[in-house]
Amino acid sequence: MGLLEGKVVIVTGAGRGIGRGEALEVVRQGGAVLVGEFDEVAGQEVVDEIVKSGGQAALVTGDVAEVEVAEKMVATAVAEFGGLDALVNNAGTLRDRTVIKMAPEEWDAVIRVHLRGHYTTTHAAANYWKEAGRPGHIVCTASTSGLLGNFGQSNYGAAKAGIAAFANITAWELRKYNVTVNAIAPAARTRMTEGAYGKIEETGSEFDFWSPDNIAPLVSYLCSDASAHISGKVFGVEGDVVEIYQPWTSVAEIGNGGTRWDPEVLATKIDGLLAEGGVAPEITNGMTRLRYSMTDRS
Ligand SMILES: NC(=O)c1ccc[n+]([C@@H]2O[C@H](COP(=O)([O-])OP(=O)(O)OC[C@H]3O[C@@H](n4cnc5c(N)ncnc54)[C@H](O)[C@@H]3O)[C@@H](O)[C@H]2O)c1
């Protein structure tokens, strides 16, 4: 018996890369999968591959940020497979550019697919679970770009940090409906990373550490009832490594005896606050805190 025996899972952006691996693993774990995909050819290929091997899969094409497309994914999963148990918000895209050069369209496109594309599906699925009185699981896709910051990705990083916040807040809101919401920050060799960083070679060893299929086991677990006690968390995942992130947290404070600060006085205190918190005043490259990186981020 797999972890998702008899379960129904939507995976957005499942036509290639990490989402494809997630869809195939859902089926390997005994579940049926609804592939949500912008690219009809890629989406159909994944559905055909699953059906050919005896699994259950269906396709809904369209932009995940469209409310109608998200609603159609939920309605199709219910109509084809008799219900919905989990949603994996994975679809995404990049438009890397420093903020000085970034066009408004590049900002909007990235914010739209990631943030609105998480809202539309979560809204539709959560309403289904509330009305049906069934438990559910949601996996959101954040990124180290949002958690740690990455040069040239202010649009993408802002969206991905927003997704971590979205997972935290919706986990809280949906707890009373027995719906868990967690997020992952994956790293894998895909069209997206090869577009951003160039060709990423296979390691040559038997285990292909950067294979996109390595993300799926954690995601299947987070889609299953075995993880029903875990919600509002952000996991890092790459190769055979699963990490847990600590959320933003306050590390030191100063006060002014219960009265409003004078800015000039405050100016003499802030360096001390940073020092007490162990926080450097100058910009730091968060990517140097990565435990694993497929590229040089120094
Ligand atoms: N690959 C990595 O190392 C990495 C790192 C951090 C986060 N991520 C995130 O993982 C997710 C998957 O990325 P990937 O690397 O597999 O990329 P990918 O480009 O290989 O696959 C993304 C898929 O999403 C689909 N898609 C894009 N926009 C869509 C839309 N509006 N509606 C429906 N489908 C849409 C694409 O057609 C594509 O099939 C993304 O959210 C990405 O930001 C990836």
**Rounded Cα–Cα distance for residues 149 and 152 (Å):** 9
- Side-chain half-sphere CA neighbours of 166 within 13 A: 25
**Domain annotation for the chain: domains and CATH numbers:** 8-244 (3.40.50.720), 251-298 (no CATH)
Q: What are phi and psi of 158, to 5 degrees?
A: -65, -40
User: Does residue 233 contact residue 244 with C-beta atoms inside 8 Å?
Assistant: yes
**Rounded Cα–Cα distance for residues 277 and 253 (Å):** 8
75-112: per-residue pLDDT in tens?
Answer: 999 999 999 999 999 999 999 999 999 999 999 999 99
- Would you state the pLDDT for residue 178? 98
Closest residue by CA, ligand 1 atom 30: 63
Nearest atom of ligand 1 to the alpha carbon of 15: 39
- Would you state the pLDDT for residue 142? 98
The mean pLDDT value for 207-233 works out to 98
Cβ(192) – ligand 1 distance below 6 Å: yes
160 a catalytic residue: yes
Nearest atom of ligand 1 to the alpha carbon of 191: 20
Query: Which residue out of 7, 72, 128, 143 is catalytically annotated?
Result: 143
172-201: per-residue pLDDT in tens?
Answer: 999 999 999 999 999 999 998 877 777 777
**Rounded Cα–Cα distance for residues 23 and 57 (Å):** 9
Type of residue at 210:
W
Type of residue at 216:
A
| Residue 222, Cβ density class (10 Å: 0-12 exposed, 13-18 middle, ≥19 buried) | buried
Give the least confident one: 124-133, 179-188, 192-201, 223-232: 192-201
- Would you state the pLDDT for residue 147? 97
Nearest atom of ligand 1 to the alpha carbon of 43: 39
Confidence of residue 298 (pLDDT cuts 50, 70, 90): low
Mutation to probe ligand 1, out of 192, 208, 243 (largest number of atoms < 8 A from CB): 192
* Short-list 40, 160, 165, CA closest to 110: 160
Q: Is the pLDDT of residue 133 over 70?
A: yes
